[in-house]
Amino acid sequence: MTLNVAAVTDRGLRREANEDSFFAEGPAFIVADGMGGYESGDRASAAVVDAFRERFGVSCSASSPG
């Protein structure tokens, strides 16, 4: 069985930057909302994805679309 994966987030209409982070490498998929408008939402969402990665031994860091 083949699984093709794509991952995309969007900053929305009100924000200048996208603060979401994600990890998409089967079988693990996680999206963390950066809570736009709150200070350091990008770092908070990346920390969640990195904590997941470390806890479950996944070797790739969080991706953030910027």
How many CB atoms are located within 10 Å of the residue 50 CB? 16
Sorted by where each begins, the domain ranges of the chain are 21-56
- Percent of the chain scoring above 90 in pLDDT: 20
pTM equals 0.70
What dihedral angle (degrees, nearest 10) is formed by the CA atoms of 22, 44, 14, 9? 0
* Mean pLDDT on 45-49: 93
The pLDDT tens digits for 5-43 are 888 888 888 878 888 899 888 778 888 988 766 788 889
